[in-house]
Amino acid sequence: MSVSFVAVASELHLARAREVAEQAYSTLRAEGLNVIGSPEPVLKPEELRKAVSVPADIKLVFVASGGTSRLMREALAGVEAILWAHLSDNSLPSALSAREKLRASGAWASEIVFSRPDKLPDELKAEIKAIRTIKAISEATVIAVCGEEKALEIQGTLEELLGAKAPGIKRISVRALLGQAEARMERPSLSEAISMLKGITGEEVTPELEEGLIKSVQLANFISEKLLKGARTPIITFDCFDMIREVGLAPCVVVGLLLERGIVAVCEADPSALLLMAACYLLSGSPPWMANLARFNLEANTLLLAHCTACPSLAASWPYRGTFLPHFESGRPVALDIWLKRGSVVIANLQVGRRKLVLARGRVRDSGLGEERLCRTQALVELDCDIKAFLAEAGNHQILSYPDIYLELCRLGRRLGLEVVAL
């Protein structure tokens, strides 16, 4: 990715402006970016106009000093740029003055960020992460374990959001995948399979459940060690109910273990969730959880989220970690009831048809609820925003992330041309 850098200053502040512009330029280059431009401040509108006309992923104008609002007003009309103001030399007043005048004429298309020159602003860091995430998804290896129609739907969704940069989908049937796993990957023992769950134990374990767990671990090992080994951004999704009907195995444990190993694994072959799960994993470096919005309580401002595919590392501290048990709707092996750790979370929902990304913050208040008529992993989440406003916008599949990537998701949504509803 590329960032064009140009500093603006007035002659009155030029000596000090050179010093802070050099600091800002060095701070930016330390991020390993392709930085286009020079730290030497420009003093005239035509110089700034030329600098911001250079093609780049981000156009960055460092407001090195005061006395620059006029040249910014004349050069930045209609230009989408980030104006980086710093703490001294009337930098912020000049940036605000330029914005005020450009807004008055209807020509403001930029934004102002603010920090010391030796520290990138949070908004700029989030923008960089969002662009890198989109690039990583565009270079992903995406495997869809599903039928042809569903694979075409996933491909169409990625192309709608990423255009020509969308990765191609590689489709494989459930039976072909299981056949390859059985032929090329050693079958683990029951004790080896249980140890993979890192403290997640079974209750009322039947031979069918044990066999399902062994097959699930064998399949997860094959996918991570053979099928997707070495992929730059590995993504796999399963049409769960087709898999249950065809081979009698729910992929919940497979999904959980793959997420644990750094592979973006998504259940239900949901195209929107696939892209958002990948984005959340890449932005946070931590496994997210995909869940149904199963219930809500207006008085308590809480949601009940439920699904069977959380990964073991999202569990609370030992020994309260969770269990493996039959899948909720089908009764087939094998699902996970992970007792999620309590703490702050970001909740995201992508609705491709509406081109909308809905975001909220909240806190996991309880988990391991054990309600029999819901998907196995369950979490009570108290929202920070008004629940009625959230419900008015939300779709079903919510992606939950413990690291706070709210700002990064906002940036990513705008980069994808989505309406971002930040609650």
What are 326-372's pLDDT values in tens digits? 998 888 999 999 999 999 999 999 999 999 999 999 999 999 998 98
331: left (phi over 0), alpha (psi -120 to 50) or beta: left
Which among 422, 393, 419 has a CA at the least distance from the CA of 405? 422
CA angle 233, 422, 137 (to 5 degrees): 10
Q: Are 325 and 406 in contact (CB under 8 A)?
A: no
CATH class of 2-120: alpha beta
As a whole number, mean pLDDT of residues 62-81 equals 97
pLDDT at 329: 85
Three-state DSSP state, 225: helix
Q: Are 83 and 124 in contact (CB under 8 A)?
A: no
pLDDT at 40: 97
Average pLDDT, the chain: 96
pLDDT at 318: 65
Q: Is the pLDDT of residue 231 over 70?
A: yes
Residue 261 main-chain phi, psi, to 5 deg: -100, 15
> In whole angstroms, what is the distance from residue 145 CA to residue 43 CA?
58
- Cβ atoms < 10 Å from Cβ of 28: 23
Q: Which of 123-132, 190-199, 283-292 has the lowest mean pLDDT?
A: 190-199
Judge if the upstream peptide bond of residue 39 is cis by omega within 30 degrees of 0. no
Terminal-to-terminal C-alpha distance of the chain: 30
> In whole angstroms, what is the distance from residue 330 CA to residue 316 CA?
27
Task: State pTM to two decimals.
Answer: 0.95
Q: Is the pLDDT of residue 317 over 80?
A: no
Q: Are 308 and 327 in contact (CB under 8 A)?
A: yes
pLDDT at 319: 63
Percent over 90 (pLDDT), the chain: 93
- For the chain, where do the domains classified as CATH 3.40.50.10940 start and end? 2-120
Q: Identify the band that residue 245 occupies on the pLDDT scale cut at 50, 70 and 90.
A: very high
Q: pLDDT, tens digit, for every residue of 100-140?
A: 999 999 999 999 999 999 999 999 999 999 999 999 999 99
Q: pLDDT, tens digit, for every residue of 268-282?
A: 999 999 999 999 999
As a whole number, mean pLDDT of residues 212-238 equals 97
Q: What's the token pair of residue 215?
A: 């097959």
C-alpha distances (whole Å) from 3 to each of 37, 124, 369 are 9, 11, 48
Q: Are 323 and 202 in contact (CB under 8 A)?
A: yes
> In whole angstroms, what is the distance from residue 154 CA to residue 76 CA?
39
Q: Identify the band that residue 203 occupies on the pLDDT scale cut at 50, 70 and 90.
A: confident
Q: Identify the band that residue 320 occupies on the pLDDT scale cut at 50, 70 and 90.
A: low
pLDDT at 372: 85
